[in-house]
Amino acid sequence: MSPAIGLQSNTINVWLDHLHRDLLNSDHLKSLVEHGLISGTSITPAGLKASIAFSKTYKQAIQTLKNSHTDAEVVYNTLILDDIRQAALLFLSTYESSGGQKGFVTVTLSPYLANDTDAMVTEAQRICQVIDFPNIMITIPANRAGIPAMYQLIRQGINVNTAPLCGLYSYRNVIEAYLTALESRVQHNLPIHYLASTATFQLHVVDNKFDKMLHLELNQDTIKTTYAQMLQGQVATATARMAFQIYCKIFKDWRFKRLADKGAHPQRLVWENIDANFSYNATPSYHRSLINPETIITIANKKIEAHIDQHNDLLVNDIGSSVQPSKILRLVFQVDIDPEQIAQELETESIQSCIQNYNTCLNIINQINAC
């Protein structure tokens, strides 16, 4: 059995990360979608930054647009909206055949809106009105401004992906906002059966951050050294496993069951295991229990087949520690690290990284317009 068929037969949900126009126009991607091997995608500043400088397709589009638009931000938004519309159309059959549970195109808003609840809500509404496809999902950060924005959007009937998540405190807040918004719709006799939401954990950045901090203890001859050795490469997986335990508990509880009776769907977890260069950890520590039909995994937009091979291997092998995840997270405190504080730092750093990618896109557009 080929790896691709293995993925399909195990109904693993795979999203393509950081879609760009050249890949969107390729027959290869269309084939992957048609065969059910890719069930969703994301459009982000990072994805556009990685391709816009070298893509003739984008360059031609930018040069065409400069005749009517000189502002780089307007050009960027036009490019993104065109990509979203085309991607939504490509995945629409997946969305319809799955009863609205697959085939989503997640869209990242301008990162400059990340601390403004009202601005995020307004921009999400605008995108959904302009695109007018049911399989659009707006990505909202899990910060103080993002949680109420997520609540308002779900309350208004708009699909939301919350990202990035790096800790359990934020995740619990995301779940609560989702459930409360659904309950509000039910109270106002509004339908909830078509709504979808996901919560995306960035696993790779978690281990990168913790492993760098733990490395400082490895040269010390103390009990902390032993703990640090045990924790290396384990914190992200432990966090994800704990998140999945929370997911199973809450979405099998009586509170959600009442919503499910009205047609509600669980807010599914997404495991994102890529770094800023779109390459996977050489030895990703996904635990087998995390990869199942209830969760979603992402792959990078380079070497798709190689990543499919890799993830199929993960279906066969029990990769990850056999130690209970709660014990691993308790050990983190023994080396004087607060995992929730680090998670909040990572979530903030992710927004800053997104701003840098967004600014790079605008600079490239200005350079092309100047030619």
Listed ranges 74-78, 281-285, 293-297, 324-328; the one with the highest mean pLDDT? 74-78
Single-letter amino acid code for the residue at 203: L
CB within 8 Å of 298: residues ≥ 6 apart: 14, 15, 16, 17, 42, 200, 270, 271, 272, 273, 274
Q: What is the mean pLDDT of residues 333-358?
A: 92
Query: How far lies 140's CA from each of 64, 137, 273, in Å?
Result: 31, 10, 19
Confidence band for 247, pLDDT divided at 50, 70 and 90 = very high
Distance CA 249, CA 245 (A): 6
pLDDT of residue 11: 59
Strand ranges (E), the chain? 13-16, 40-43, 104-108, 136-140, 160-165, 197-202, 268-272, 295-299
Distance CA 140, CA 147 (A): 8
Q: What is the overall mean pLDDT for the chain?
A: 86
Burial of 275 (0-12, 13-18, 19+ CB in 10 A): middle
**What is the CB neighbour count within 10 angstroms for residue 314?**
20
Confidence band for 1, pLDDT divided at 50, 70 and 90 = very low
Strand ranges (E), 143-231? 160-165, 197-202
Percent of the chain with pLDDT over 90: 58
pLDDT of residue 7: 44
* Of 174 and 55, the one with more pLDDT: 174
Longest dimension (CA), the chain: 66
Q: Which two tokens stand for residue 360?
A: 């790079």
pLDDT of residue 306: 54
Distance CA 341, CA 360 (A): 29
283, pLDDT greater than 80: no
Torsion sign (Cα): 3, 9, 13, 18: positive
Each residue of 124-148: pLDDT tens digit?
A: 999 999 999 999 999 999 999 999 9
Residue 169 falls in which region: left (phi positive, over 0), alpha (psi -120 to 50) or beta: alpha
Give the SS3 label for residue 132.
coil
Whether a cis peptide bond, with omega within 30° of 0, leads into 141 is: no
Query: How far lies 22's CA from each of 86, 168, 195, 303, in Å?
Result: 12, 37, 30, 14
Distance CA 225, CA 229 (A): 6
pTM across the whole model? 0.89
Q: Residue 49 in contact with residue 364, Cβ under 8 Å?
A: yes
Domains assigned to the chain: 3-204+235-321+341-370 (3.20.20.70)
pLDDT of residue 281: 39
Single-letter amino acid code for the residue at 240: A
Q: Which two tokens stand for residue 37?
A: 């091997």
**What is the CB neighbour count within 10 angstroms for residue 350?**
22
